[in-house]
Amino acid sequence: MLMSIALVAGCATTQQSERVAKVDPFESINRAVFTFNENADEYVVKPAAEAYKFVLPEFVRTGVTNFFSNIGDVFVAANNLLQGKPENAANDIGRFLVNSTIGILGFFDVATDAGLEKNQEDFGQTLGVWGLSDGPYVVLPFFGPSSVRDTAGFVVDVKTNFILNSNHLNDDQKIGTTVLRVVNYRANLLEASQLLEDAAFDKYSFLRDSYLQRRRNQVYDGNPPLISD
């Protein structure tokens, strides 16, 4: 009996190792970048986010989150069109128009209350819908979990970003806006990151597996096909 259990455990361990080698062939490099990101977050980004949350009341932080989310709806709409989902794209454009006007430049999310639900799409997902596989898992400096496919999509997202490519903002304003977006985003994740610290035995592996599973669900709109060995 004990030998049978040992054999099953050994097979499971071997299968797990083979799976990890397939999805994360750059693990040693990724873990080094992960450690760098953790240190940058611990000593720079997280303290800034905590100070930001302490100084600004919740309604202001919510308004900032809504503002950036409203700008993002334009890109979400474009990706929904590229994915062949015109109804969702129309919903996204509707959200942008409603929140940009009645919602005062997006600081108030009036569209959600009106029944126009928020969608989440990016060019990495679009590439996935077009049939491009994730490719190896990678950890990007500062930006964290990604994949070869999603890194390519991220580059496109950055190149088409209104703020970063605006002719109406100087370099200091672009940097300031980007820093505000990052700090606000990190402030929204303070509680979740603490739960992760308390729960995850191996934070790196947990984040990797969670990221890949989440992206797969996003590409298939929550209904991914079974993975065959």
Domain for residue 83, yes or no?
yes
Which of these, 50, 64, 55, lies nearest to 187 by C-alpha position? 50
- Tell me the helices (H) and strands (E) count for the chain, helix number first: 11, 2
Domain for residue 15, yes or no?
no
pLDDT above 90: residue 225: no
Domain count, the chain: 1
Residue 115: how many other CB atoms lie within 10 Å: 8
Beta strands in 84-226 (DSSP E): 137-140, 144-147
- Expressed as residue numbers, the domain containing 102 is 25-219
In the block, tokens 């580059």 appear at 155
Domain for residue 121, yes or no?
yes
Distance CA 130, CA 56 (A): 42
Domain for residue 227, yes or no?
no
pLDDT tens for each residue of 15-62: 667 778 799 999 999 999 999 999 999 999 999 999 999 999 999 999
Query: What does the pLDDT read at residue 229?
Result: 52
Domain for residue 29, yes or no?
yes
Q: Residue 181 has which token pair?
A: 């977006």
Query: What does the pLDDT read at residue 149?
Result: 97
pLDDT tens for each residue of 96-155: 999 999 999 999 999 999 999 999 999 999 999 999 999 999 999 999 999 999 999 999
Domain for residue 229, yes or no?
no
Q: Is there a contact between 169 and 163 (Cβ–Cβ < 8 Å)?
A: yes
In order of 37, 55, 57, 133, the CA distances from 46 in angstroms are 11, 14, 18, 33
Domain for residue 20, yes or no?
no
| DSSP label of 137 | E
Domain for residue 6, yes or no?
no
